[in-house]
Amino acid sequence: MNDNKLEELRDLVDFLKANGIAEFDMERAGLKVRIKFAGAAGSSAPGIGPEQLATLLAHAGGGVSGPSATAAPQPSAVTADAAQGEALHEVKSPIVGTFYDSPSPGAPAFVQVGDRVEVGQVLCIVEAMKLMNEIESDVAGEVVKRIAATGQPVEFGQPLFAIRPR
């Protein structure tokens, strides 16, 4: 990447940060760029939408797929049971990726709320860089809540499941 392109990319990052855009995809002339800010909570500032951003970036040439909302990191699971003093164990994502509750589309989920799980039992998959990483339970107990949504991005350390230990 030459210095002009690198400077253009830096300007783009500055523009995205200044306007509160959490995620951005762009493809042009054999170059594909995906920018996603960790911990970002919104898709854009109130004054700029995907159409305006596309117009602004059209001067640079190439196709733009526009910003899209990211899933903000989920707060720790707080359920009615936990509020009453019961301690729930959270299984957290060890990596950044995409959460899937089943081994393939249309297949049944690895676990459902109410299921009893054992240590080492597969709970879900987190896809990262085209690798399917099985996430196993690190505690035996009952699945009380599934916190993450299938097909949605998850952050490192984000709770995926709440389990009532035995």
Res. 83: pLDDT tops 70: no
Give all strands of the β-sheet with 141-146 in edge-to-edge order.
89-92, 159-165, 141-146, 116-117
* CA–CA gap between residue 159 and residue 166 (Å, rounded): 19
| pTM over 0.75, yes/no | no
3-state secondary structure of 67: strand
Q: Which residue has the tokens 């993450």?
A: 148
Q: Which domains does the chain have, with CATH numbers?
A: 3-67 (no CATH), 80-165 (2.40.50.100)
Per residue in 149-161, pLDDT (tens digit) is 999 999 999 999 9
pLDDT value, residue 164? 95
Strands (DSSP E) along the chain, which ranges? 23-28, 31-36, 63-67, 89-92, 97-100, 116-117, 122-128, 131-136, 141-146, 153-154, 159-165
pLDDT band at 132 (very low <50, low <70, confident <90, very high): very high
